[in-house]
């Protein structure tokens, strides 16, 4: 899937979680903003194993770092696209959040971490619908996909993704926001007043 699709899938997953957990625990406006940013970073994090990833395009010498990091990770859709990779990146992000927490004491690191993890998992789920699939159970060298027959899966960046998957995700986001509007509004209003 392309970056736009991963971004939409991550926010969809986050909104579904918010809807399922409603009412939400109290949190600061800084936590809400950090969680949204973390969710979107999680959405692109598994693609750090390729030099053309959005992260590397926005960093000086990014392509060079991307090539180096891609080799260490075993290439595209290998370690970072597995449950082991999710656990490793989750551990690193958790450590980073604990380390920087004294600089941002009003941010609930646990909520931010969960938002990041939802973004990462949504990435793997969406890539499971593509022809290449995902090695969920690495070191088992099998790439899993849905549906199981490869010919029925989506080709990245093609018409099905652009004209069906992306619009469907947009409709789902709008529907979730419409259904949970009072809770979302209250969440933001409570934090702005603080």
Compute mean pLDDT per 10 residues along the chain, 194 residues long, and list them: 92 93 82 95 89 71 71 75 94 96 94 97 96 92 91 90 94 92 76 53
> At 130, phi and psi to the nearest 5?
-90, 165
Position 19 in a domain = no
∠ at Cα 144 (153, 82), nearest 5°? 125
Which has the closest alpha carbon to 169: 2, 3, 36, 7? 7
Q: How far is CA 29 from CA 43, 102, 113, 187, in A?
A: 21, 17, 16, 9
Q: Give pLDDT tens digits for 9-34.
A: 999 999 999 888 877 777 888 999 99
Structure confidence at residue 75 (pLDDT):
65
Is residue 21 included in any domain, yes or no?
no
Secondary-structure breakdown of the chain: helix, strand, coil percentages, each rounded to the nearest 5? 70, 0, 30
Domain that holds residue 90: 3-14+26-193
Q: Is residue 120 part of a domain?
A: yes
Residue 20 located in a structural domain: no
**Considering its fold, how many domains does the chain have in total?**
1
Residue 65 lies in a domain: yes
Residues 6+ apart with CB under 8 A from 89: 45, 46, 80, 120
Classify residue 31: in a domain, yes or no.
yes
Cis peptide before 23 (omega within 30 of 0): yes
What's the pLDDT score for residue 190?
64
Question: In this structure, are residues 123 and 42 in contact, taking their beta carbons and an 8 Å threshold?
Answer: yes
CA end-to-end span of the chain, whole Å?
39
Which residues lie below 8 Å from residue 166, measured CB to CB, with a gap of 6+? 4, 5, 8
Whether the bond between 139 and the residue before it is cis, its omega within 30 degrees of 0, is yes
Is residue 59 assigned to a domain? Answer: yes
Half-sphere exposure of 148 (CA within 13 A, CB side): 0
pLDDT score at 191 = 60
Separation between Cα atoms, residue 154 and residue 127, nearest integer Å: 9
In a domain, 153, yes or no: yes
């Amino acid at each position: 899937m392309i970056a736009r699709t991963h971004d939409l899938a991550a926010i969809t997953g986050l909104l579904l979680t918010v809807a399922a957990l409603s009412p939400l625990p109290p949190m600061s406006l800084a936590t809400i903003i950090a969680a949204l940013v973390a969710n979107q970073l999680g959405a692109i994090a598994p693609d750090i194993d390729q030099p053309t990833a959005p992260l590397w395009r926005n960093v000086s010498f990014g392509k060079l770092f991307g090539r180096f990091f891609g080799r260490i990770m075993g290439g595209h859709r290998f370690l970072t696209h597995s449950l082991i990779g999710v656990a490793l990146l989750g551990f690193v992000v958790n450590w980073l959040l604990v380390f920087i927490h004294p600089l941002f004491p009003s941010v609930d690191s646990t909520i931010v971490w969960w938002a990041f993890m939802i973004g990462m998992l949504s990435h793997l789920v969406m890539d499971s619908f593509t022809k290449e699939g995902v090695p969920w159970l690495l070191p088992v060298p099998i790439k899993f996909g849905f549906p199981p027959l490869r010919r029925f899966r989506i080709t990245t960046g093609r018409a099905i993704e652009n004209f069906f998957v992306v619009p469907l995700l947009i409709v789902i986001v709008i529907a979730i926001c419409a259904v949970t509007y009072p809770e979302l509004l209250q969440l933001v209003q409570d934090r702005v007043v603080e």
